[in-house]
Amino acid sequence: MNILVFGPPGSGKSTQARRIIERYGLEYIASGDLIREEIKKGTSVGREMEAYIKRGDLIPSTIVNILVYRQLRRVRDDFILDGYPRTAEQVLALENYLYDHGMKLDLALDFHVPKEVSIERISGRRICSKCGAVYHVKYNPPKVPGKCDVCGGELVQRADDRPEIVSKRYDIYTANMEPIIKFYKRQGIYVMVKGEGDVEEVWERVRPLLDFIHSREEKRREHEV
């Protein structure tokens, strides 16, 4: 079962993606994680990507494609792509890659939230500067304001989590995703999921569909043996 998950900043897609991984044993490929890891390494590519992020701009497809396909080369089935593709150019590149390697997508899940929800969720996020623990000023506040419950480290707001940057990212995301959504609708694999509500509410909206597709794929493989 090969799945795309996408949604605007703060949609909860990554949280739901991890739920999907735990239940169905899929390989997790998150473009955001790959980008942050490259930035952490301090490579020239990482520094270039960091500059785009701080401005709230999209990182060029040529760079992101390389990071994603490096991971896809390790798997052939049972993967979940989180946050990729984000442009029509990336969709075309991905379709060509999958076709060339005899692979296909089963589902494109769009976790949607309104802009105001996106800004509230993301701009309220705080990260521990020492251990990386994640908090939220409203939904998951630390016991002591500004201090990590785990290690006592200072909590900071990432540069790309500022309200004005989140607003810009949301607008860019919406504009770029319109043709992508149309493409996957034509393929018959697009499903929009309402991302508002708590984690369990959202999960129960999508779990029955995933159970059905997973069961269908298991039966198909049994017949191929």
Question: Which residue is catalytic, options 13, 19, 121, 126?
Answer: 13
Catalytic residue, chosen from 19, 121, 125, 126, is: 125
Out of 19, 121, 126, 169, pick the active-site residue. Answer: 169
13 an active-site residue? Answer: yes
Closest Cα to residue 15, out of 1, 24, 25, 5?
A: 5
158 flagged as catalytic: yes
Tokens of 19: 């739920």
Query: What distance in Å separates the CA atoms of residue 12 and residue 100, rounded to the nearest whole number?
Result: 32
Q: Name the 3-class secondary structure at 20.
A: helix
Calpha distance 126→161 (Å, rounded): 9
User: Mind giving me the DSSP string for 34-78?
Assistant: HHHHHHHHT-HHHHHHHHHHHHTPPPPHHHHHHHHHHHHTT-SSS
Q: For residue 86, indicate whether it is catalytic.
A: yes
Tell me if residue 125 is catalytic.
yes
The one catalytic residue among 19, 86, 121, 126: 86
The burial of 21, by beta-carbon neighbours within 10 Å (0-12 exposed, 13-18 middle, 19 or more buried), is given as middle
Catalytic residue from among 147, 158, 168, 207: 158
Contact 133, 149 (CB under 8 A): yes
Q: Which residues are catalytic?
A: 13, 86, 125, 158, 169
